[in-house]
Structure 1
Amino acid sequence: MKSWSWPEIKQRLQCPVDEDAEYENTTWCNRDLIPIPPERRTYGVWSYFGYWTVSGACISAWSTGSTLLAFGLTPQQAIGVIILGSFLCGLLSVFCGWMGEVHHIGFTVSSRSSWGMRGSYFPVILRSFVGCMWFGMQAFWGGQATRVMIGAIIPGFAHMENYFAASSHLQTNDFIGLVIWMVGFIPAVLIKPEKLQMPFFFCFVLFCGTCFGMLIWAVSQAHGAGDLFHEPGTAPNTGWAFMFGITAILGSWGSGTLGQSDWVRYSKRRYAPTLSQLVACPLTIAITATIGIIVTSASNKVMGGDIQWNPIYLLADVQEFYGSSPRVRAGVFFASLGCVASQFSISVVLNSVSTGMDLAGLWPKYLNIVRGSYIMAIIGIATQPWQLISTADKFLSVLSGFGVFMAPATGLMLADYHVVRRHRLKLSDLYRGSPSSIYWFRSGVNWRAFAAFTVGMWPLLPGLAANVNSWTEPKWTGWLRLYNLTFIVGLAISFLAFWGLNIFFPVPGTDIDGPFIVDGRDLVIDGVARTSGSSEGDAPGPVKNEHGRERKGAVLEVSVV
């Protein structure tokens, strides 16, 4: 039996490199971090419509809208919140994804220009943590949908005895459903991002069937949209509840908009994602959430009891309400199948690929999207998401809490790219971990980014603490109202702070742009010629094969507009 030395083991553990690749795995570079080459840009206009139908038509959108009813808003007010919040999400997506369209790089790499080569670890870790928590919640919903689907086939499974403590907020059959769902999710991670268009479409069709099927049932049985549309809201202060709802929506999709460049970098041509961001994003979120609100209201009239804001729980209640008749069980099975498919797709789209890429940026030699996704899955389940989403209030608190950290990170990134650098990036320097890189700043850290992030975040922390702990004393009222504007306030403050710091403490290289050069040769890609000198430092250099000879072939360069 052959014994391997430690250097051989390390070599085998490194991320795979494409055959005849013109890059190598370094501290800053691997296949998932380089600018996407032309042959891997497979997303057109309709592909991005598919992306946003998956991102917008999902259980999160349904639950966010209908949860606003439990929070005290009327259905009309909740729909208004959804429309405005989803439009703002679409607008943010355009500006956050701009660098992905132009430079074909993702958030993990682009954050190096604003935070510094080493400083970029902070936003990457932050977004990875949020992504892991989001995956945990999405996976738990997927497990519950699987439990309902199995319970429609085997009614006894729906009434399985629970062996977990009541304080855990976890049922035994939910746990079994989660395990089964994870068994299906694990191989789905292996699908390359550029090959996900057809799975997008398939899952979207299934979930659309679920949404409209439940809508038809609820409206027909209730003979309308339900009594909640004619009742006054119960929120103590409607205006601030309205703003809190917008904060929850922006917090819900904030991580996705911040990392839009992770996906738009796969675009075949410029502006391919823009129409879907401005149309499909707000449209799908608004329609899904509105359907959720109508079904929640109508089903409450049909079955009575507490407002059921989660479609998975509602399906289980429907089966019980009609005595598990064969026809109802068939309907519940197909409806829950759409929920299962939706959770698979949303977990890959908004969690697996983006979080996997973030984690790959922490250790590019040994982590790529697939390996990072598996780490994300482990951490996400370890966060015990069933505790986070046990009630409607907790669900909204979690969503809005994400915005406290996502908003300042988004604001300073927008200021850096759109105002300070005016869309100019020297791509080769984003892969060079040495003082020769214009993004090295001081010891690899740009202190301006950390200062702007702190300034944008700290005013929101008292309100976050008061909201989570239900502190209602008058002294917390002002902080809570400021917290209700989390995403807008945090983004605006950090944007202005970062811009101002760069005016008073300017950095060199903000007017320099350049392509991703591997060996210094002049190239023409996408019809734009570029010339550059040889690379330095840790920049990706000529790649040699196992015999020590340099690989031949076209050298990768990305045009900069």
Structure 2
Amino acid sequence: MSNANHEFPSGNTRAVKSIMSNTEIDIMQKNQEMEKENVPTTTWQKFMRALEVPHQEKPLSALRNPDLEPILIKERTWGFWSFFAYWGLPNFAVATFSTGSALLALDLNIQQSIGSLVIANVLIAVYTIMNSNPGVKYHIGYTLSQRMIFGIYGSYIGIIIRVGISVVLYGYQGWLGGLCINMVFDSFSSNYLNMKNTFPESVPMARKDLIGFLCFQLIQIPFAFVRPSRVNIPSIVTCFMTLFSIIGMLAYLVQTNGGPGPLYYEKVLLSSSKRSWMWLYSMTIWYSGISPAVANQSDYSRFSSGTLSCYLGLFIGIVLPGTFVSLAGMLCASACKGLYGSAYWTPNEIVEEWLNNDYSSKARAAAFFIGISFTGSQVFLNLTQNGYACGMDLAGIFPRYIDVTRGTLFAQLISWVVQPWTFFNTSSSFLNAMSSFGIFVTPIMTLNIIEFYWIRKSKITLIDFFTLSKKGAYWYSSGFNWKSISCLLIGVALGIPGLVYQSQPDLTMNSAMMNYYYGYMFFIPLVTGVLYCGLTYMFPDHHEKMCHVDPLDFFNCFSDAELQKLGMLPFEENLNDICEYLDAEEPQESKDRIIVSGEKKYENTM
């Protein structure tokens, strides 16, 4: 809270006090104590103060920094095309282009694979919309929603899961980005194209790949200092550049081959039962790759300038590119098999084939444009889906010392540790295990939807996210919500056997657990959701602030229309001193009497 002296307008103080309960006053006072800045006296205290994140006179505490607060109106600039691009990025990318290699390996053909992807994309869009509403309505991100689900301290569970996945995927996407930038370097020099590997055989990478990876990592680093809300425009540009590149590759290969190629005409020989499970598994594989982005959708939906534009942008950005790019990748691979005798599943393989066959100016120009396009999409994909996401989550663990910029830099530096080159160049089971990422985030998504819509009726208090007061709405039992944590653990545990069987095919598998794993996109929400609803029904939470919103716009983040809809009083700077004012001007007995006896400015309408 600010320590500046303000003169309260006549009648305003009583109006404010009249809508605040004793609990809300207590929470504000607790928060003020946490946010109070003491003058450092020792060398160690001065050193730790110097490490604190820049906060421009805004409150800073063990639970709060500016990057965790609800987004202000001036920063809510994302419209239809911004959300289309945000979801276009993971689709106009190397991983999606090569998805067909995993789906066709299930003994499905191209037509069957695309059918499963269409259904999966529609369901993913629905999941994403339902997960986006804490951000759309209250302008808060994934980190704060974890406090709502698991409790103030229990939230670290969901945050740590997302941080771990972000770091691994940052390295994975960074390696793919290095392959993309190598297409650009290949177009510059035939010597680079044919660079010999000087590493010993024990090193699972080529020198050329390492150079590309290093250059791609260096390109990404400066973007850590860009606010996440500001990368929407370059994301839109790179999405369309990559779209044109994919269309050009597809048109050239299919036309040159004289048709879609042999893979397109393959028959499906699976039995009806086996085919059904492979349809489920193909949907799960596709869902798993983008499930972390679905889970933390609120991190970006809070930038929305309008609810409808957000929903339409993400729905179309998920369904159309997600289906088209996968289909284009399969058709390109099929045409390559007809033309070159091998099915090439990544753009860099196709470009290298062109350049090796004919290092002409035409082929080099195509390599350059395709390389620039895919490199751009990989940069902003990795930043938005993994880098910034990691920064936002780490800010929730160490608010005093980590903001989005520092957390993104951490992901960039630590991603080397996961050695992403081993994912592609060894017999590592990582690529199989990638289909399991959704096991860890799907229960979180399910709990978020149930907690927000069913338990809290889409009404949450924001000031309680930043308090250690036992009266806070998200304190539960000693800061932990045992019901949601139990459901999370059970939901994850049921998927682990299938993950083990998938990673270790020599083991004798249990068919029931394997089938559960094949369809965990559907089964985990069912199991986790029913269990959580049952526990909540048997052990209901009777907190006095359940299904309530804040009486005041404490963070000055709502428009006048939103305030009227939520039934809040507008923010005024001098209201920051309400706790200090109450302490100084009136005894507690008088405060309690006034707080409960006044009239509200306007009633809740939701």
- What is the TM-score normalised by the length of structure 1? 0.89
Residue 246 of structure 1 aligns with which residue?
283
Say if 1:248 and 1:396, in contact at 8 Å, map to a contact too. no
Aligned residues: 533
CA-to-aligned-CA distance 1:136-157 (integer Å, 9 cap, x gap): 1110000111123212211222
Q: Does 1:302 align with 2:342?
A: no
Q: Does 1:503 align with 2:531?
A: no
Residue 550 of structure 1 aligns with which residue?
none
The gaps in structure 1 that reach 5 residues or longer are 535-539, 545-558
How far does residue 365 in structure 1 lie from its aligned partner after superposition? 0.8
Residue 376 of structure 1 aligns with which residue?
411
CA-to-aligned-CA distance 1:334-388 (integer Å, 9 cap, x gap): 1111111110110122112222101111101111111111111223221112222
Q: Specify which of 1, 4, 7 is matched with residue 45 of structure 2.
A: 7
Letter of the aligned partner of 1:57 in structure 2? F
| Cα distance in 1 between the residues matched to 2:256 and 2:540 | 65
Residue 537 of structure 1 aligns with which residue?
none
- Give 1 or 2 for the bigger CA radius of gyration: 2
1:46-85 residue pairs with structure 2 within 5 A?
46-85=81-120
How far does residue 543 in structure 1 lie from its aligned partner after superposition? 12
| Cα distance in 2 between the residues matched to 1:173 and 1:16 | 40
Say if 1:70 and 1:318 are closer, same or farther in 2 by CA, change over 3 A: farther
CA-to-aligned-CA distance 1:169-211 (integer Å, 9 cap, x gap): 3211111111111111011222212222221122112211221
Q: Does 1:315 align with 2:362?
A: no
Say if 1:235 and 1:256 are closer, same or farther in 2 by CA, change over 3 A: farther
Letter of the aligned partner of 1:357 in structure 2? M
Say if 1:245 and 1:516 are closer, same or farther in 2 by CA, change over 3 A: farther
Residue 513 of structure 1 aligns with which residue?
549
- State which drifts further: 231-240 or 523-532: 523-532
Say if 1:361 and 1:192 are closer, same or farther in 2 by CA, change over 3 A: same
| Cα distance in 2 between the residues matched to 1:447 and 1:102 | 27
Q: Does 1:357 align with 2:392?
A: yes
| Cα distance in 2 between the residues matched to 1:395 and 1:300 | 26
Q: Does 1:399 align with 2:434?
A: yes
Say if 2:231 and 2:380, in contact at 8 Å, map to a contact too. no
Say if 1:323 and 1:9 are closer, same or farther in 2 by CA, change over 3 A: same
- State which drifts further: 418-427 or 391-400: 391-400
**Any idea what SS the aligned residue of 2:196 has?**
coil
Q: Does 1:486 align with 2:520?
A: yes
Say if 2:563 and 2:569, in contact at 8 Å, map to a contact too. no
| Cα distance in 2 between the residues matched to 1:152 and 1:227 | 30
How far does residue 234 in structure 1 lie from its aligned partner after superposition? 6.7
Q: Return structure 1 stretches of 4+ with deviation > 6 angstroms.
A: 540-544
Say if 1:197 and 1:400 are closer, same or farther in 2 by CA, change over 3 A: same
Q: Does 1:182 align with 2:220?
A: no
Residue 193 of structure 1 aligns with which residue?
228
Say if 1:15 and 1:365, in contact at 8 Å, map to a contact too. yes
| Cα distance in 2 between the residues matched to 1:452 and 1:201 | 38
Residue 278 of structure 1 aligns with which residue?
315
| Cα distance in 2 between the residues matched to 1:61 and 1:389 | 16
Q: Does 1:333 align with 2:371?
A: no
Say if 2:82 and 2:313, in contact at 8 Å, map to a contact too. no
Say if 1:69 and 1:543 are closer, same or farther in 2 by CA, change over 3 A: farther
Q: Does 1:215 align with 2:260?
A: no
Q: Does 1:92 align with 2:127?
A: yes
| Cα distance in 2 between the residues matched to 1:178 and 1:338 | 16
Letter of the aligned partner of 1:407 in structure 2? T
Letter of the aligned partner of 1:268 in structure 2? S
| Cα distance in 1 between the residues matched to 2:270 and 2:193 | 35
| Cα distance in 2 between the residues matched to 1:232 and 1:410 | 37
Q: Does 1:162 align with 2:162?
A: no
Letter of the aligned partner of 1:7 in structure 2? Q
**Any idea what SS the aligned residue of 1:27 has?**
coil
| Cα distance in 2 between the residues matched to 1:25 and 1:282 | 40
Q: Specify which of 152, 156, 163 is matched with residue 121 of structure 1.
A: 156
Say if 1:427 and 1:516, in contact at 8 Å, map to a contact too. no
Q: Does 1:446 align with 2:476?
A: no
Residue 258 of structure 1 aligns with which residue?
295
Letter of the aligned partner of 1:276 in structure 2? G
Say if 1:148 and 1:269 are closer, same or farther in 2 by CA, change over 3 A: closer
Letter of the aligned partner of 1:304 in structure 2? G
Say if 1:250 and 1:135 are closer, same or farther in 2 by CA, change over 3 A: same
CA-to-aligned-CA distance 1:397-453 (integer Å, 9 cap, x gap): 233110111111211121111111111111110111231212111111111111101
Letter of the aligned partner of 1:279 in structure 2? I
How far does residue 47 in structure 1 lie from its aligned partner after superposition? 2.2
| Cα distance in 1 between the residues matched to 2:486 and 2:105 | 38
Residue 54 of structure 2 aligns with which residue?
16
Residue 477 of structure 1 aligns with which residue?
511
How far does residue 72 in structure 1 lie from its aligned partner after superposition? 2.6
**Any idea what SS the aligned residue of 2:322 has?**
helix
Residue 453 of structure 2 aligns with which residue?
418
